[in-house]
Amino acid sequence: MQRLRQSLQRWYCQQGRDLPWRRTRDPYAIWVAEVMLQQTQVATVIPYFQRWMEALPGIPELATAPQQQVLKLWEGLGYYRRALNLHRAAQILMQEHGGQFPRNLEQVLALPGIGRTTAGGILSAAFDLPLPILEGNVKRVLARLVALPQPPARCLPLLWRLSQQLLDPEQPRTFNQALMDLGATICRPRQPRCGQCPWQADCAAYNRGQQQHLPMSEHRPSRPHKQIAVAIVLRGKEILIDRRLESSMLSGLWEFPGGKIEPGETPAECVVREVKEEIGIDIEVVAPLATIEHAYTHFTITLIAFICRYLRGEAQALQCSEVRWVEPAELSQFPFPAANQKLFPYLYAWLEARGHLL
């Protein structure tokens, strides 16, 4: 074990990545980065992390920030529940821990949105506590190191033990960061750079010629597809938007009203029905605007958008949290899901072609 630790850390000293959150031991900054890095590539995270830290530099600022500011800063990263969990956890830290990030593993695990690997990443990087990690890159490295004969998801207790055994108790911060970098830059999912790997000689997968085939993967069922129709409702110079329910997917985000197209229903009929049910007003379809495709983790959608005219009724939050009439130039002030954002260029072009001022 000691030889593996030393060879990895020598490699890391020469080849490790210089990342903004590695230039600090501030647990808040490291926590924000760890959460952003869940399900998101490093290159994507860096500008989001920098903007977040400029706007919300500490736990007190995050705890007192309006939810809409938090979601707007997160806009485009996806998995918005992560942002809401950060917000709620900061409020808990202010209420129960005096605004300080705890050093106790159980207390950290009790915070919303923090699991074992995120907790280990934060506490080892901020406080040098000897806690293992097991994120995606690390699972791949360890699975190849021992030539794991099953998908990693079926062997998590074994992989956790291995991560703990390998961990350098004297330098847990450096070791965990090195292990993540090894997976991200050398032991890649495809075309691993085995010739540059400090663990090549000890890697069972490499020695058996199996590195291209490991780790084994689970069969993934095809993602279901949904047809969604949305209405861009115009009333004079204003556009109608609504905020999603807190209990729904993408909770707290704003969107153009609409919903799933029912069997036997045309997209145009769908938006008229959905707006009536969701907001309580009558509209008429003026023209199709755009049809876009968008993929989420567990399903894909075709989003069909229509320009619609407001007819009558008072807009009410019947099946949403809030409704607003806003001018086109104000849309960018609200956090929208990525699928809705794809409609903005089409909407602006449509309005500009008809002399609307943006």
Q: How do the domains of the chain map onto residue ranges?
A: 2-207, 225-353
Residue 39: what pLDDT?
Answer: 86
Residue 356: what pLDDT?
Answer: 66
Residue 194: what pLDDT?
Answer: 95
Residue 296: what pLDDT?
Answer: 84
- Examine domains 2-207 and 225-353 and report if their fold is the same: no
Residue 220: what pLDDT?
Answer: 77
User: Helix H segments across the chain?
Assistant: 2-15, 27-36, 42-55, 59-64, 67-74, 81-96, 105-109, 116-127, 136-145, 156-166, 172-181, 204-207, 267-279, 338-341, 344-353
Question: Domain 225-353 is of which CATH architecture?
Answer: Alpha-Beta Complex (3.90)
Token pair listed for 104: 């106790």
CATH number of 2-207: 1.10.340.30
Structural contact between residues 198 and 188, judged by C-beta atoms closer than 8 angstroms: no
Residue 311: what pLDDT?
Answer: 96
User: Helix H segments across 167-209?
Assistant: 172-181, 204-207
Active site residue 54: no
Residue 162: what pLDDT?
Answer: 96
Residue 216: what pLDDT?
Answer: 81
Residue 354: what pLDDT?
Answer: 81
Token pair listed for 350: 């449509």
Q: Which residue carries 């593996």 as its tokens?
A: 4
- For the stretch 278-326, pLDDT in tens is 999 999 999 999 999 999 878 899 999 999 999 999 999 999 999 999 9
The 10 Å CB-count burial string (b at 16+, else e) for 53-80 is beebeebeebbebebeebbbbbbebbbb
CB-based burial label for 181 (10 Å; 0-12, 13-18, 19+): buried
20: region left, alpha or beta (phi > 0 left; psi from -120 to 50 alpha): alpha
**Total Cβ atoms within 10 A of residue 303:** 22
Q: Which residues of the chain have pLDDT under 70?
A: 248, 356-358
- Give the 3-state secondary structure of residue 48: helix
**What is the value of pTM for the model shown?**
0.85
Residue 357: what pLDDT?
Answer: 46
